[in-house]
Amino acid sequence: MADYNKTLDRAAKLCSTSEKSSQDMRTKMIAWGLDELEADKALAYLVEHQFIDDSRFAHYFVKDKLKFNKWGRIRIGYALRQKGLTDAVIEQALGKIDEADYTEILDHLIAQKISSAGDPSIPANKAKVLRFAAQRGFSAEEIYRAFDRLKEN
């Protein structure tokens, strides 16, 4: 059994260095030796003192995954659900995505994949590009619109 105050200090220090979801911190504190009741008590303290804020976490998570991992809304939303966030928090965070940036990222990804896969007028090559973008979490509608934009240019 871990010391409650030491674990709480450790959790607060960790939360002050980077954003964490409440589910992640609860899991960590239990792994550190707190029982579930103490972990819930510590989590309430961390939320009350703004060390943890799931909305803030979701906002930064969306921003990072879009910018660095080039993920689409579908994959980001799935990852946030895995983190235990509510649908309302997820929708709010996904709603803050800048459409121009999102479109630019998707267009760039598709253009890169087309250059490596080959001529997209060949069905097998187009399928490769579609699967690639879908695995990144972009919807079919978004992908087809990106294809249309690339044809225009």
Residues 107 and 88 in one domain: no
Kindly report, residue by residue over 36-59, the tens digit of the pLDDT.
Answer: 999 999 999 999 999 999 999 999
What confidence score (pLDDT) does residue 105 get?
97
Residues 103 and 147 in one domain: yes
* CATH number (domain holding residue 41): 1.10.10
Residues 88 and 103 in one domain: no
Residues 138 and 106 in one domain: yes
Kindly report, residue by residue over 83-113, the tens digit of the pLDDT.
Answer: 999 999 999 999 999 999 999 999 999 999 9
The answer for 3, left when phi > 0, alpha when psi is -120 to 50, beta otherwise, is beta
Residues 103 and 148 in one domain: yes
Residues 103 and 120 in one domain: yes
pTM for the complete prediction?
0.92
Residues 129 and 145 in one domain: yes
Residues 89 and 106 in one domain: no
What is the tally of structural domains in the chain?
3
34 CB contacts (<8 Å, ≥6 apart)?
A: 1, 2, 4, 7, 42
Residues 84 and 106 in one domain: no
Is the predicted pLDDT of residue 1 greater than 70, yes or no?
A: no
Judge whether 38 and 6 are in contact, CB under 8 Å: no
What confidence score (pLDDT) does residue 75 get?
98
Kindly report, residue by residue over 4-44, the tens digit of the pLDDT.
Answer: 999 999 999 999 999 999 999 999 999 999 999 999 999 99
> Domain containing 108: what range?
99-152
Residues 91 and 109 in one domain: no
DSSP string, the chain: ---HHHHHHHHHHHHHHS---HHHHHHHHHHTT--HHHHHHHHHHHHHTTS--HHHHHHHHHHHHHHTS---HHHHHHHHHHTT--HHHHHHHHHTS-HHHHHHHHHHHHHHHHHHH--TTSHHHHHHHHHHHHHTT--HHHHHHHHHHHHH-
Residues 36 and 22 in one domain: yes
